[in-house]
């Protein structure tokens, strides 16, 4: 990925953010990645806290709806994704004089 996309990349899944959320430590991740991290922590006996994968700061585990998206970061991600999609311009340039009469009869 380019340096621009690196700053829009989740450190857990290594993909462009999908519904980015920020932890109390300030690090941001995809919401689904944080929820998976919490699930793994619970399986390992951590019932109330998880650790940020980057700085190891503990954060309180929350229900999925409690995490709110980081709107400015989500907007940056959407703008970046739009830049990746090539703009396609459709041009319909044809000469009606070369179209057979039987085809033109059905046109208004």
Residue-wise pLDDT for 7-24, tens only, equals 899 999 999 999 999 999
Q: Give exposure, 10-29, as e/b (b: 16+ Cβ within 10 Å).
A: beeeeebbebbbbbeeebbb
Beta-carbon contacts of 70 under 8 Å, excluding residues fewer than 6 positions away, are 20, 21, 22, 28
User: How far, in Å, CA of 7 to CA of 61, rounded?
Assistant: 25
pLDDT of 92 reads: 63
Identify the bridge partners of residue 21 per DSSP, sorted by sequence position: 29
pLDDT of 107 reads: 63
- Kindly list the structural domains of the chain, giving each domain's residue range(s) and its CATH number in brackets, ordered by start: 3-104 (3.30.40.10)
pLDDT of 1 reads: 45
pTM of the model: 0.69
Residue-wise pLDDT for 68-86, tens only, equals 888 999 999 988 888 877 7
Is the pLDDT confidence value at 90 over 60? yes
Residue-wise pLDDT for 18-47, tens only, equals 999 999 999 999 999 999 999 998 898 888
């Amino acid at each position: 990925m380019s340096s621009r996309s690196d700053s829009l990349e989740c450190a857990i899944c290594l993909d462009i953010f999908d519904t980015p959320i920020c932890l109390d430590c300030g690090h941001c991740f995809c919401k689904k990645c944080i929820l998976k991290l919490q699930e793994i922590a619970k399986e390992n006996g951590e019932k109330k806290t998880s650790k940020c994968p980057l700085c190891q700061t503990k954060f309180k585990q929350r229900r999925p709806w409690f995490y709110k998206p980081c709107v400015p970061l989500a907007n940056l991600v959407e703008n970046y994704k739009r830049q990746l999609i090539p703009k396609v311009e459709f041009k319909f340039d044809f000469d009606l004089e070369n179209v057979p009469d039987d085809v033109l009869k059905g046109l208004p």
